[in-house]
Each structure stands twice: as structure tokens, then as C-alpha cells.
A = this chain, B = another copy of it.
């Protein structure tokens, strides 16, 4: 997605050879105009697949997932939680995920009632890096008996191998901006 690549080059920042900092439009301050454009592109990429639900994980995936849902007949968005609130007292599906940027392991949880065998689920996240969170979401969808229509991230860090792991599980991965590598502080797209 050309617009997103341009935005990353303009407003993003490479830190070392591993981190792309996009907190000024994607994961701390949010640019809702570009979110909307990303949502439109996600709807185009996964049109005709019968998607009836979008699954993401708190917090940074929520804005993109909602933008996509607005362009996909307002299908419901479900976000996995990293901590269980006291109001989450029913059965839930869960899978572990390590956060690349936080260095922590979270148990991602989704109330069981929100994933059903009839569901055709699109998984949406802000980043695809090593794929830990994404694989956990696929696992949760499968635990609920749902079909996974595909996965999309705003930004894929190709060299970290997440897309490969997802594809090995039969998941169709279509990220909006795929970064091949960061070389000498320069972001290079695939």
C-alpha cells in the first residue's frame, strides 16, 4: 500500500536494525484518516471471502480492525485481552504470546461465546514481527472451531519470520506494508 509506505518513510523512524517506530500515527498517536484508508485496502484485499468477524488484540490492533470493519459491512470486531477484567467471568479461549517490543509473555484471552464454528475470521494487527501474537490469535480462532480467512498487519517486518510461520499453518498473509530490512537506518520495502 503505497500511501502507507510513504507515511512510514515520512513519519516513521528506524531504531537500530530491528525496530520501526510509528508511534506518531499507528500505535500511540493515531491518524484516523490513514486508518480509514488502511481499512478500505483491507476490505479490498479480503473481499469475497465471506468474512463475518474480525479478530485483533488490544491495544494497537483495535483502531485498524475497526476501520476495516467499517468497510466490510460493519462485521463485529473482537479484541483479545491481555488481562482478565473482573467482568470476564465466563469461559474463554486462550493462547500465550510473547511481545517483541515489551519483552513480556501475555496470555491472550477471548470469551468463548465470541468465536463459533460458523465464523470466518479475518485477523488484523498493527505489526507482524516474529508472529507470536498472530499465531496465538490463529490458535484461538481454531480452538473456537472457526475458519481463518486470512491475516493482515499494517506493517510486516519480513526478516523476523512471522509471515512464514503463519503461511506454514495455511494462513493467507497479506500485509499492507512489508519491510524487507532496515539497512544503515534506512527502511527498505519488499
Contacts and interface: CB of A to CB of B under 8 A. Distances in A.
A24 to B, nearest CB: 8
Given A62-B59, A62-B63, A87 B19 contact: yes
A29 B59 contact: no
Nearest to A21: B87
A83 interface: yes
Interface string A1-42: 000000000000001000101011000111111011000000
A61 to B, nearest CB: 9
B36 A79 contact: no
Interface in A108-149: 110-111, 114
Nearest to A35: B66
Main SS at interface, chain A: mixed
Interface residues of A, number: 41
A23 B86 CA distance: 12
A30 B77 contact: yes
Contacts of A24: 114
Given A62-B59, A66-B63, A33 B88 contact: no
Contacts of A35: 66
A48 interface: no
Interface string A53-71: 0000011001101110110
A-B CB proximity, top 7 nearest:
A58-B59, A59-B59, A30-B77, A85-B101, A32-B69, A33-B74, A62-B62
25 contacts: A19-B86, A19-B87, A21-B87, A23-B87, A24-B114, A28-B78, A28-B79, A28-B110, A28-B114, A29-B76, A30-B65, A30-B79, A32-B66, A32-B69, A32-B70, A32-B74, A32-B76, A35-B66, A59-B62, A63-B63, A63-B66, A63-B77, A66-B67, A83-B104, A86-B103
